[in-house]
Structure 1
Amino acid sequence: MKKVAIFASGNGSNFQALAEASLRKELNADICLLVCDQPEAYVVKRARHLGIPVFSFRAKEYPSKEAFENEIALELAKRGVEWIILAGYMRLIGSTLLNRYRNRIVNIHPSLLPAFPGKDAIGQALDAGVKVTGVTIHFVDEGMDTGPIIAQQSVNILAEDTRETLQKKIQAVEHELYPKTINELLDE
């Protein structure tokens, strides 16, 4: 089983889905660390409840991105982490981690990239009036949601959909597609 760290910044629904899949032996990964840049985020409570170690930090307490990424890299090395899985981590990954984990950092995004990259992809899709959006899983590179696409699945937007209903539909797809895709990557 490959050792993975999950990076998250907020509520942690994708973290929870991955951790539960791992506990049910449906995800062929040992989730050995949560990395969170918001120590008060709900995802930290989720991790602690599941007995998953947490490394949390505040970026503003470091002189540079390189400084906090070096500390993260030390935490990852201590645990033998082989892959990084982003699950709502709201920071761009810098060269310190990209160079160490090239082609082993994966992200999930709530749109069919390249459409609607960055923050509030669901709001962007609704504002644009598109009829289809979806979920993209991709490798992380230096850009924002620009890395090579690994998997995508569409989600229809109905006339009656609100931000909340569309988010629920997208999360249902994410919680199924992400563990499946990660398994395929880790089994290669």
Structure 2
Amino acid sequence: MLTVAVLISGTGSNMRALLEAAADPGFPARVVAVGADREADGFAHAEDFGIPTFLVPYGQFPSREAWGEELARQLDVWNPDLVVLSGLMRLLPPALVDARAPHIINTHPAYLPEFPGAHGVRDALVAGVSQTGASVIVVDDGVDSGPILAQERVPVLPSDDEHTLHERIKPVERRLLIDVVRRIATGDIDLAAVAAPQTT
């Protein structure tokens, strides 16, 4: 059984979808803890499912590195097989990424490598593209630059604003995330192989 810790910053809607999937006895992964970098509304979802939570407030640390050290200690308590970033609005420090790589994944509301960063939905609208998408990636030291595990296109409608487009991307993100976690748990995705440097 794959054990999973989820890190959030906000409402945790993607996380709730994963919790609902993992509540099925037939699902091959279990969420063992939910952490956040601030007081997050998503903790309520964890409580609904009886999942322990932990808080590592970013503003209480003198540096990103110091915050990452405490976050690493909290994760070590649960020692999950996989860490899922689900709306965590912080870049993890390289030391934490290196310690757990390649077993950290993230969802992103764009068809990477298109529109990386914190404003992927807005950037797609500004660019005037006819389609964007959703991606699930392995986290590396860059900004949404890790190996892609799954992605799917989502059309941009003429009437879309940032809210409506994001609301149509979210269900795709959730479905991709649940499928990727399932495939990691069953061995259909080998993270070590996916993240291995490519040789020619």
State the TM-score, normalizing by the size of structure 1: 0.93
For 2:174 and 2:97, locate their aligned partners in 1 and report how far apart those are by CA, in whole Å.
25
Q: Hey, what does 2:16 align to over in structure 1?
A: 16
Q: Report 1:147-158 matches (<5 A).
A: 147-158=146-157
Whether 1:29 aligns to 2:33 is no
CA spacing shift, 1:99–1:24, aligned 2, 3 Å: same
1:17-38 deviations in whole A, cap 9, x for unaligned? 1111101246421211111001
Q: Hey, what does 1:50 align to over in structure 2?
A: 49
For 1:14 and 1:26, locate their aligned partners in 2 and report how far apart those are by CA, in whole Å.
20
Paired amino acid for 2:102: N
For 1:69 and 1:26, locate their aligned partners in 2 and report how far apart those are by CA, in whole Å.
34
CA spacing shift, 1:26–1:91, aligned 2, 3 Å: farther
Unmatched tracts of structure 1, length 5 or more: none
SS at match of 1:66: helix
Moved over 3 A (4+): none
Q: Is the 8 A contact 2:14 2:173 kept in 1?
A: yes
Whether 1:127 aligns to 2:126 is yes
Q: Hey, what does 1:139 align to over in structure 2?
A: 138
Q: Report 1:1-188 matches (<5 A).
A: 1-25=1-25, 27-39=27-39, 41-188=40-187
Of residues 59-68 and 176-185 in structure 1, the stretch that sits farther from structure 2 once superposed is 59-68
1:146-176 deviations in whole A, cap 9, x for unaligned? 1111111000112122322211210111121
State the TM-score, normalizing by the size of structure 2: 0.88
For 1:68 and 1:81, locate their aligned partners in 2 and report how far apart those are by CA, in whole Å.
19
Shift in Å, 1:13: 0.5
SS at match of 1:88: coil
